[in-house]
Structure 1
Amino acid sequence: MTASHAARAAALTARAEEVADRIVADILTLVRHETGSYDLSALASGLDLLRETTVARLGPPDHEHRHPGGAYGDTLTLTYTGTGDGAGHVALLGHYDTVWPTGTLAGWGQPETTDEDGRPRLGGPGIFDMKTGLAQGIWALKLARESGAPVPTVTFLFNGDEEIGSLASRPVIEETAKKVDVTLVLEPTAHGAVKTARKGTGIFEVTATGVESHAGLAPQDGASAILALSEFVIAAAAVAAPERGTTINTGVVSGGSAVNVVAGSATAGIDIRVGSEAEQARVDAEFAAIQVSDPRVRIEVDHAWNRPPMTLNAASAPLLDLAREVARDQGRGELPTAAVGGASDANFVAALGLPVLCGMGAVGDGAHAQGEYIHPDTVPAQTALVAGLLVRLTRPPRG
């Protein structure tokens, strides 16, 4: 730690504390505008609000582009040119869509609560995953610029389809990551830890096509798609290998046309998480080998791997070292890391061999659950951490 780094870290932390109420106010403004992944109208106005918030804090961007999402939320990139002689360029990446359908907020209950030990909590749909991270990222650049230190060029990338696979935004994410020096993903932390490893995800759709018949008059003439699909689902569950990080969950099943008809069709949606490419290949092979007892039923499996596994690649290791140094400068001690089962857009960046850190956002818990919350007392420190990284990234670390 140099004296200048320590002094700047202390100043950024102090300033973040001073404006903590304003950061939290921006968080709550974003949360109160619901942006469920499937509500295109709400997503469009939510992205407008996010842009307005960014411009209110940072001024108009030097470059911006709104990438149409079609059936999904649009992706917005806003670039703010850096200062000083450094050539650094950083992407701050975050999604503004949430898993919560429009109308959830009205029935959410009390947003301000406390832990058993009296520590304050703030709740709301998407507050943890990940609207707090969005607001903290905006304020991090604001604090870095106001500090007087040189800052890198920063490109914000806000996408509205992460919770459903980033199907429209993935090309924009990958192209942006290739143009910058490092990517910081503003997803929530793992209880304060940076996420350096994430599982890969597959969203497989299994379709069973059988033979319909009258369940009372001619049941023998039918071949039940539902029965065959049930066999497949049980066999698929046996492919899981938790000891190797592979989990399999059949989350959605539908089929049949009437109670008195032998089902002619049925489908299942299966969520698969793997920790390695080897496990991905094994799952593919074992799913392809599953047989059902009635040969009249045709089984088709769409092997839709959505995100590759993420590990701490060689390009990201120096970035993690720098983040740990910034945390120490700010008096936080050793910055912890975590490997988690959930995937994010960081998986795409890591798979390209590019430097990325994920989990730079909120401290709290309950992602995708009704009790989703943040600890508002952590907002200043998390904002200062990203701000401190930005002022150190005018010259990006090299592996």
Structure 2
Amino acid sequence: MTASPAPAAAALTTRAQEVSSRIVDDILTLVRQETSSYDLPGLAAGLDLLRELTVQRLGQPDHEHCYPGGECGDTLTLTYAGTGTGAGTGAGHVLLVGHYDTVWPTGTLAGWEQPGASEDGREKLGGPGIFDMKTGLAQGIWALKLARESGAPLPTVTFLFNGDEEIGSLSSRPVIEEAAQKADVTLVLEPTAHGAVKTARKGTGIFQVTATGVEAHAGLAPQDGASAITALSEFVVAAAKVAAPDRGTTINTGLFRGGSAINVVAGQATAGVDIRVSSEAEQARVDEELDAIKVSDPRVRIEIDHAWNRPPMTLNAASAPLLALAREVAREQGRDSLPDTAVGGASDANFVAALGLPVLCGMGAVGDGAHAQGEFIYPDTVAAQTGLVAGVLVRLTRPLRG
């Protein structure tokens, strides 16, 4: 039996439109299972649900492996063998990456209010993690389902679902990097930027700063104390001045803790600092200037844990042909264009791009409000985004060439 030729992206999108209500049902099923990055039982239940949904839509995988996350959510890979052939190249191999953890504490769903329609009357759907990024997970599963049903030759597809992206992919990073090196192409199902794919992302640092001072009675002998809180406050103010927004560098102290009692000069304080940079040069500058900060009381010791979490991502030479292919698919869908953009947030695509491998990010939801109470998707875009991923898959039966 001869395999069918690759169907036009328009036909895949039309089919996605016919089943869009079922795709949305799967999205909402995933949203109803809360998966806070810090709730291990919730994450386990969420991963079980995600696997079950994948198997319902695609059947049993040809290979699967679960990587324990320890204090983080587990990482699961599910591989479906391809049916395409190329001249000595095999079927090609595509990695689809998506995280199932969210920033929302367990219990958030109960108080979530659905958004009203947009100003132009378009329907919105909201929920914790619906935009970032449970919609992308469901769309990716359905994209492969529709591509398989079309009868077209297909690449091998591996889904990688990780449960710790929102806290830095601490356990899943090596799994992602290894899987990406085995694949020909990686598509990250993170949400779009208002419909644009993401080809550049900032690098991130998650620094912990600790101040160690000298405790003393705040009333009887305050002069004997050296306040860690006062010193760390000075540091935080100075650190904010190291930011250079015109160069893409931002610095935000998001957590601050310290002291033991209101009537004790604080002996210790800690701060959690979020740093975003667009280049390795800025990363080096920030390291140097933070280390150079001095506080007014020399009795307080400042220690900085320089924890650079993700490298900056740019559109590397390997990814440019993949972007061109996605744009070709979008044109077949009838879109005027498929824009790409740079964003301040980081994702697991940063790791893949840093290896010099082809990757596109932002292949998922269209909506807005990531990490905000109003996060939402436009359900009328679900079919087009699913069709886009499906259309790219049927064109990747051979390894992408520059």
Relative to the length of structure 1, the TM-score reads: 0.98
Between the aligned partners of 1:10 and 1:293, the Cα distance in structure 2 is 65
Task: Name 2:58's counterpart in structure 1.
Answer: 58
The answer on whether the counterparts of 2:64 and 2:77 sit within 8 Å (CA) in structure 1 is yes
Task: Name 2:102's counterpart in structure 1.
Answer: 98
Q: SS state of the match for residue 120, structure 1?
A: coil
Gaps of 5+ in 2: none
What are the equivalent positions in structure 2 for 1:127-142 lying under 5 Å apart?
127-142=130-145
Does 1:291 pair with 2:281?
no
The answer on whether the counterparts of 2:55 and 2:61 sit within 8 Å (CA) in structure 1 is yes
The answer on whether the counterparts of 1:245 and 1:275 sit within 8 Å (CA) in structure 2 is yes
* Distance verdict in 2 for CA 1:259–1:165, change over 3 Å: same
Shift of 1:8: 2.0
Does 1:155 pair with 2:158?
yes
The answer on whether the counterparts of 1:6 and 1:329 sit within 8 Å (CA) in structure 2 is no
Shift of 1:5: 8.3
Between the aligned partners of 1:37 and 1:16, the Cα distance in structure 2 is 31
Shift of 1:333: 1.8
Shift of 1:397: 2.3
Shift of 1:263: 0.5
Q: SS state of the match for residue 188, structure 1?
A: coil
Give the RMSD, CA atoms, in angstroms: 1.1
Q: SS state of the match for residue 114, structure 1?
A: coil
Between the aligned partners of 2:15 and 2:179, the Cα distance in structure 1 is 30
Shift of 1:395: 1.4
What are the equivalent positions in structure 2 for 1:38-187 lying under 5 Å apart?
38-86=38-86, 87-110=91-114, 113-187=116-190
The answer on whether the counterparts of 1:6 and 1:330 sit within 8 Å (CA) in structure 2 is no
The answer on whether the counterparts of 2:6 and 2:395 sit within 8 Å (CA) in structure 1 is no
The answer on whether the counterparts of 2:101 and 2:163 sit within 8 Å (CA) in structure 1 is yes
189, 199, 206: which is aligned to 2:192? 189
Between the aligned residues of both structures, percent identity stands at 83
Between the aligned partners of 1:268 and 1:382, the Cα distance in structure 2 is 40
Q: SS state of the match for residue 116, structure 2?
A: strand
364, 369, 381: which is aligned to 1:361? 364
The answer on whether the counterparts of 2:323 and 2:360 sit within 8 Å (CA) in structure 1 is yes
Between the aligned partners of 1:374 and 1:195, the Cα distance in structure 2 is 17
The answer on whether the counterparts of 2:5 and 2:152 sit within 8 Å (CA) in structure 1 is no
The answer on whether the counterparts of 1:5 and 1:329 sit within 8 Å (CA) in structure 2 is no
Between the aligned partners of 2:233 and 2:177, the Cα distance in structure 1 is 38
377, 380, 385: which is aligned to 1:382? 385
The answer on whether the counterparts of 2:85 and 2:398 sit within 8 Å (CA) in structure 1 is no
String of CA shifts for 1:306-360, please: whole Å, max 9, x gaps.
Answer: 0000000000000000000110111112100110000000000000000000000
Between the aligned partners of 2:268 and 2:84, the Cα distance in structure 1 is 63
Task: Name 2:29's counterpart in structure 1.
Answer: 29
String of CA shifts for 1:139-196, please: whole Å, max 9, x gaps.
Answer: 0000000111101000000000000000000000000000000000000000000000
What are the equivalent positions in structure 2 for 1:275-286 lying under 5 Å apart?
275-286=278-289
Shift of 1:380: 0.1
* Distance verdict in 2 for CA 1:309–1:377, change over 3 Å: same
Shift of 1:7: 5.6
Gaps of 5+ in 1: none
Between the aligned partners of 2:72 and 2:269, the Cα distance in structure 1 is 26
The answer on whether the counterparts of 1:127 and 1:374 sit within 8 Å (CA) in structure 2 is yes
Between the aligned partners of 1:146 and 1:8, the Cα distance in structure 2 is 13
Between the aligned partners of 1:68 and 1:271, the Cα distance in structure 2 is 27
Between the aligned partners of 2:265 and 2:5, the Cα distance in structure 1 is 72
Between the aligned partners of 1:126 and 1:396, the Cα distance in structure 2 is 33
325, 329, 334: which is aligned to 1:326? 329
Q: SS state of the match for residue 396, structure 1?
A: coil
Counterpart of 2:25, as a letter, is A
382, 391, 395: which is aligned to 2:394? 391
Between the aligned partners of 2:304 and 2:324, the Cα distance in structure 1 is 42
Between the aligned partners of 2:84 and 2:172, the Cα distance in structure 1 is 31
Does 1:213 pair with 2:247?
no
The answer on whether the counterparts of 2:7 and 2:150 sit within 8 Å (CA) in structure 1 is no
Task: Name 1:237's counterpart in structure 2.
Answer: 240
Between the aligned partners of 2:85 and 2:99, the Cα distance in structure 1 is 31
String of CA shifts for 1:265-303, please: whole Å, max 9, x gaps.
Answer: 000000000000000000000011011111100000000
Between the aligned partners of 1:382 and 1:370, the Cα distance in structure 2 is 24
Counterpart of 1:48, as a letter, is D
Q: SS state of the match for residue 121, structure 2?
A: coil
Between the aligned partners of 1:13 and 1:170, the Cα distance in structure 2 is 33
Counterpart of 2:102, as a letter, is T
Q: SS state of the match for residue 66, structure 1?
A: strand
Between the aligned partners of 1:343 and 1:6, the Cα distance in structure 2 is 33
Shift of 1:9: 1.7
Q: SS state of the match for residue 249, structure 1?
A: strand
Task: Name 2:312's counterpart in structure 1.
Answer: 309
Q: SS state of the match for residue 203, structure 1?
A: strand
Does 1:250 pair with 2:253?
yes
The answer on whether the counterparts of 1:73 and 1:160 sit within 8 Å (CA) in structure 2 is yes
Counterpart of 1:98, as a letter, is T
Counterpart of 2:353, as a letter, is A
The answer on whether the counterparts of 1:226 and 1:255 sit within 8 Å (CA) in structure 2 is yes
Between the aligned partners of 2:179 and 2:292, the Cα distance in structure 1 is 39
